[in-house]
Structure 1
Amino acid sequence: MDDKQESRPPATRRITDVGTLKAFGHPLRLKLYGTLRVAGTATASQLATQVDEAVSLVSYHLRKLAEHGLIEEADAQSGDARERWWRTAQEALSFRHEDFKDTPEGAAVHASVIRSLIAHHREQYETYLDQQASWGEEWRRAADQSDFLARLNSAELSELNTEIHALIKTYEERGKAAEAAGDTEGRENVAVHLASFPFRNF
């Protein structure tokens, strides 16, 4: 790796075009993007092992993500010049219904990607449930699954989401700062899934 410090990707990218959202929404690409986000940097071979797919297939889908600027090449992490290292091109992605609602295709793609993400989150949580005995008592006590009910207007819901996101961000930055200072003991990847929406009847 070069002696110079590699620049950090921008914090958030908002996807507003159907082509990019469709490229991101492929099930394997969703999994690859999520795996790469956790890893920081990785090669196609490393990612193929993580997702249990052929390296050639993973390489193809990584190129498709790169074509849309969702991932980018990273500085080499080894002396093997043949290895191509990747990282996400942003720390987080967002895509809003209002950017896709004006065309049937856009609305359908947006809904499909959201459903795929929900399925991925469920799979991730169910994997934890299957493995929770191995995590130990402290982690089992710390983990949480809750739901809440509030009577809000749309402005209050938006304010609630903004405050929750800001709070989570402070913990993300705290963890990064601690690890940068060498405080890595006992730290694990932690997923926080949030869904807030209005409803009248189930």
Structure 2
Amino acid sequence: MTSPETRRITDLGTLKAISHPLRMRLYRALFVARTATASHLADQVDEAVSLVSYHLRKLADHGLIEEAPAQSADGRERWWRPSSDGISLREEDLRDAPELAAATLAFGRTVNEQRTELHRRFLDERMTWSEDWRSASVDSEWLPRLTAAELDALGEELDAVLRKYDRAARAAEEAGDTEGRENVAVHLHAFPYRS
């Protein structure tokens, strides 16, 4: 059963496993689908089923995904689901672990590239979405002067708001309310910088 908690990554093997670009795409696609087979995911990422199966097994080896109950009558296909409600990396886990810090940099860059590609695709396809969706999309930048403690509190509040909306959407879908729902990407970056 998928854990309602976020999986905290603290070991190098798991971090390397999720940092692979195709594995990260598969994890994201599986997270959105909630359950899927290798063939479903292969169609989404435009890769061979055998390659997708291999990478799914690698994610499972590190506990990032798990087998899900079969969704088909014949039971021949292997179904997968995320093993937790997301993943996280914490700065305190990187202290005194230079190999984790280096792998975190690779992970962060891969995540950023894939997020940028998702946003770029939306911008390119913007006019194919209805006016309601175009108006509802958010593109803003804020440049406040905060303390580290205020930034930490801001992150926790934003996380709580997003979790509230995600839980409500999942409950509505489980109740059969799928009308008008689309996958939505919310990317937040909040970091100090020097001008």
The TM tier, using the shorter chain, reads over 0.9
Provide the residue aligned with 1:17 in structure 2. Answer: 11
Indicate the residue corresponding to 1:3 in structure 2: none
Match of 2:64 among 67, 70, 79: 70
Task: For residues 24-72 of structure 1, give each alpha carbon's deviation from its aligned partner in whole angstroms, at most 9, with x where no partner exists.
Answer: 1111100000000001111111111111111111111111100000000
Further displaced range: 134-143 or 9-18: 9-18
The one-letter code matched in structure 2 to 1:123 is E
Query: Where does structure 1 lack aligned partners over 5 or more consecutive residues?
Result: 1-6
Task: State whether structure 2 residue 165 is matched by structure 1 residue 174.
Answer: no
Rounded to whole Å, the distance in 2 between the matches of 1:99 and 1:8 is: 24
* TM value normalised by structure 2: 0.96
Query: Counterpart amino acid of 1:76?
Result: A
Runs of at least 5 residues in structure 2 that lack an aligned partner in the other structure: none
> Could you tell me how far apart the structure 1 residues matched to 2:51 and 2:174 are?
34
* In 2: Cα distance, 1:97 partner to 1:104 partner: 12
1:154 aligned residue: 148
Q: Give the corresponding residue for 2:85.
A: 91
SS at match of 1:86: strand
- 8 Å CA contact retained: 2:2, 2:81: no
| SS class of match (2:192) | coil
Pick one of 34, 37, 58 that aligns with 2:31: 37
Give the number of aligned pairs: 195
RMSD in angstroms over aligned alpha carbons? 1.2
* Aligned partner of 2:115 among 114, 121, 125: 121
- The answer on whether the counterparts of 1:13 and 1:93 sit within 8 Å (CA) in structure 2 is yes
For 2:66, what is the secondary structure of its paired residue? strand
Percentage of pairs with the same residue: 57
Distance 1:111 1:101, change over 3 A: farther
